[in-house]
């Protein structure tokens, strides 16, 4: 039996956010430059994701409740994304610090590569990882979005 596919979108302060899922869980959350149309019927977990992301942007949520994710990852990516998910709202760590936390102290660049492939932005808060220079750094959704998200969380950049 084919797997059902769902799409939800909403306009956030940093542009359109698209959430894609199957009946097994969320497969991606990404920023979009164009309007995203929401399917008429969504599973409850998709509505929960939209609600939680809306609360995040409205400064009413700092941590996401468990959302079912259906994402493919290597073991290293999984470790990096899990560690990134533990970084508290409003805090940042360097790529090197994150590499140490996943027992790969010399893998700061590999950590950056894993983060650039994060399929669920904001929920896995890869925007909270910055270069050792203290600058904002790169971000798959655009450096300006990363800077906005960090300022939204109270970080001065």
Other CB atoms within 10 Å distance of the CB of residue 99: 23
Q: Sheet holding 5-12: strands in order across? A: 5-12, 15-22, 25-32
Chain center to CA of 2: 27
Phi, psi of 22 (to 5 degrees): -115, 180
Q: Which residue has the tokens 């220079």?
A: 133
Catalytic residue selected from 8, 98, 126, 129? 126
Q: Assess whether 126 carries a catalytic annotation.
A: yes
d(CA 58, CA 95): 28
Looking at the annotation, which residues are catalytic? 126
């Amino acid at each position: 039996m084919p797997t059902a596919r769902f799409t939800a979108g909403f306009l956030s302060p940093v542009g359109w956010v698209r959430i894609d899922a199957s009946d097994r869980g969320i497969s991606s959350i990404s920023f979009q430059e164009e309007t995203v149309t929401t399917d008429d019927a969504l599973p409850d977990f998709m509505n929960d994701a939209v609600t939680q992301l809306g609360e995040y942007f409205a400064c009413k949520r700092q941590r996401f409740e468990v959302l079912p994710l259906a994402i493919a990852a290597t073991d290293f990516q999984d470790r990096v994304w899990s560690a990134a998910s533990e970084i508290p709202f409003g805090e940042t760590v360097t790529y090197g610090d994150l590499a140490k936390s996943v027992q790969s102290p010399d893998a700061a660049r590999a950590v950056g590569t894993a983060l650039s492939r994060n399929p669920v932005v904001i929920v896995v808060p890869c925007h909270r990882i910055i270069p050792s220079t203290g600058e904002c750094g790169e971000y798959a959704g655009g450096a300006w979005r990363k800077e906005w998200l960090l300022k939204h969380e109270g970080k001065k950049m």
